[in-house]
Amino acid sequence: MAINLLNEVTSAIGTDTLSGLGGALGESPDVVRRGAHAGIPAILGGLTAMGDTPGGASRVLALVRSSQYDSEGSLSRITSSFGRAGIGAEPLAREGSGILGSIFGSRTDEVAGALAGRSGMSGRSMGGLLAMLAPLVMGVLGKTIREQRLDANGLSSLLGHQRSYLGGLVPDEVTRTYGVVGPHVYERPAPVVTEPVRTQRVATEEPHKKRPAWLIPLLLLGALLLALFFLFRGRGEERRAAVAPVPVEREERAAVREPPAKPEPAATATTTPEREPAGKPEATPAPMVAPVPEGTEAEPAMEPQGEQQATLGGTPPSGAMHEEEAAAAEQAAMEEQQAAMEEQQAATEQAAMEEQQAAMEEQQAATEQAAMQEQQAAMEEQQAATEEQAAMEEQAAMEEQPAMEEQAAAEPMQPAPGEETLAEAPRGGIDALAASFEEGSGESLPARFTIDGLDFRSSEADLSADSPELDRLAQMLSENPNARVRIEGHTDSTGDPAFNDSLSQMRAEAVRDALVTRGVQPDRIEAQGYGASRPIASNDTEEGRRENRRSEIVLLSR
């Protein structure tokens, strides 16, 4: 996976970003550029160091996902937050401070101070720059994780490949003093294996390949066993060379000539007896056995009387015993080595299983946390939508209330069969309407008043042009510009009901048109005819019918 995160982060910093960072820090773009060239490798080195620790790649992945750096558009959000005036830098700096704390712990200020000298910035400015660069680095890392679909193992491999790109870019004082991964990590020295007899140097694997954790202990154990084998073998040979024939006293006995079954080659043993310590009797050495010429019979040598001669079927010589001991020791060492290898392999597998289990639990916890946060956000969004819907319904009900009241007031009252129901009598004429305007809100609305003095011909809707009542009514409406009214037309029950409804509607519209002609806005005046449906007196008498033939004005709002 040949991805150079250093190049990716550097290419994401444009001229606008440098200007925005410089404006936020009070530094020139050139100084900010030098500071970025020193700070970005240090941040990437810290992430690489986290990836080298057990479960570190999982922690880096959780750090990326907890702030949604791997989401679509996260990197664009970060880069767009840096304007030429540094707008958006302060929230990113707070965000980056938390990231630096996860990477460097309590040594963030010390790392900033060590990097400040390479860029010409103060330690405070360098610390601020590191805090604003950290989200950018995490955004590039999150974008790579999303595009490459990396899990913890893939992220560990990606971070491990960054060593070759970061070598020599992180200052030695940072890597030496504050523990940030630096060049000394990228060149791994070969381990030295020490044996009791000689020192053997074992060559390392390639720098970028990880060695199994059990390899070095296994090599040490094998070297130790090999040294023990050679040590025991050498001592056995020394002991065999130092063993001399046992001196015995010779006793003569009669030589018995017996024909040999088969001629056997005579073994010639020439040894020099060792000196005995002073004060001990000198033992007679064993006789020398000379080779027998071919074709002759050899006399058997005189055996010491009273002593048993060592033969092939008797007790084995001391050299053979040492070889058996060495073979047994070698066999025991091999068995011990095999047991140690099996134990080491079991421990390695156990550690791998525990690490995998911890990573799975951490991933599950992160997944559950994200699900809970998402569920919480959905619940809050749903609650907000419900509250907004309730508020809208309440507002609509409040707005519909006056209209419903007006409609209820406008609907004709239906009398029961065989019974005539009288409508509410008006509160008075134009004088009462004028008093209502003067009194203000002391009177409930809608309020109904009679328009007297209107001259309609019988069964017609023509209205004479001169009408003092209409002039006065138009004057009051002009003086109260917020007032809204409804003109209602009524007839008696004489004649066809449909004709009466039409006639009352035309008379109400005629009054409205007369008011509009006198300067009242038409959207402030409604017109409605009710025919004979809303009498205020009995239609059985002439006087009652005259009262029912009327025009009314209803004050809807002041």
The pLDDT assigned to 432 comes to: 84
The pLDDT assigned to 83 comes to: 58
Q: Using the predicted structure, report yes or no on whether residue 334 has a pLDDT greater than 90.
A: no
CB 359 within 8 A of CB 152: yes
What is the model's pTM?
0.36
| Cis status, amide bond into 426, omega within 30 of 0 | no
CB 551 within 8 A of CB 489: yes
**123-148 helix and 108-119 helix, angle to the nearest 10 degrees:** 100
Residue 523's pLDDT band (cuts 50, 70, 90):
very high
Which DSSP string do the residues of 9-63 spell out, in sequence order? HHHT--HHHHHHHHHHHT--HHHHHHHHHHHHHHHHHHHHHHHHSTTHHHHHHHH
Mean pLDDT of 384-402: 85
Separation CA 461–CA 504 (nearest Å): 8
Report pLDDT digits (tens) over 109-131.
Answer: 888 888 988 888 898 999 999 99
Report pLDDT digits (tens) over 28-56.
Answer: 888 989 999 999 999 998 899 888 888 88
The pLDDT assigned to 158 comes to: 92
Residue 144: name the closest of 48, 283, 1 by CA: 1
Residue 42: name the closest of 209, 189, 172, 208 by CA: 172
What count of Cα atoms within 13 Å lies in the side-chain half-sphere of residue 227?
14
Q: Using the predicted structure, report yes or no on whether residue 344 has a pLDDT greater than 70.
A: yes
Report pLDDT digits (tens) over 535-552.
Answer: 989 999 988 888 888 889
Bridge partners (DSSP) listed for residue 200: 193
User: Cα torsion at 218, 224, 226, 227 (round to 10°)?
Assistant: 160
Mean pLDDT of 386-411: 75
Q: Using the predicted structure, report yes or no on whether residue 206 has a pLDDT greater than 50.
A: no
Residue 133's pLDDT band (cuts 50, 70, 90):
very high
Best mean pLDDT range from 76-85, 242-251, 254-263, 413-422 = 76-85
Tokens 């009273």 belong to which residue? 306
The pLDDT assigned to 320 comes to: 53
Q: Using the predicted structure, report yes or no on whether residue 156 has a pLDDT greater than 70.
A: yes
The vertex-376 CA angle with 373 and 381, nearest 5°, equals 125
90, two tokens:
């302060």
Lowest mean pLDDT among 179-188, 341-350, 521-530: 179-188
Separation CA 365–CA 86 (nearest Å): 37
Best mean pLDDT range from 110-124, 308-322, 434-448 = 110-124
Separation CA 468–CA 454 (nearest Å): 9
Which domains are seen in the chain, by residue range? 5-185 (no CATH), 430-557 (3.30.1330.60)
* H-helix or E-strand spanning residue 333: helix 318-410
Tokens 């990606």 belong to which residue? 158
Separation CA 108–CA 95 (nearest Å): 14
The pLDDT assigned to 88 comes to: 61
Determine whether 503 is exposed, middle or buried from the number of CB atoms within 10 Å of its CB (0-12, 13-18, 19+). buried
The vertex-26 CA angle with 23 and 31, nearest 5°, equals 95
Cα separations (Å) of 327 from 228, 317, 322? Answer: 12, 16, 9
Count, in order, helices (H) and strands (E) of the chain.
Answer: 18, 6
Report pLDDT digits (tens) over 52-107.
Answer: 888 889 999 999 998 888 888 888 888 887 754 455 677 888 889 999 998 888 88
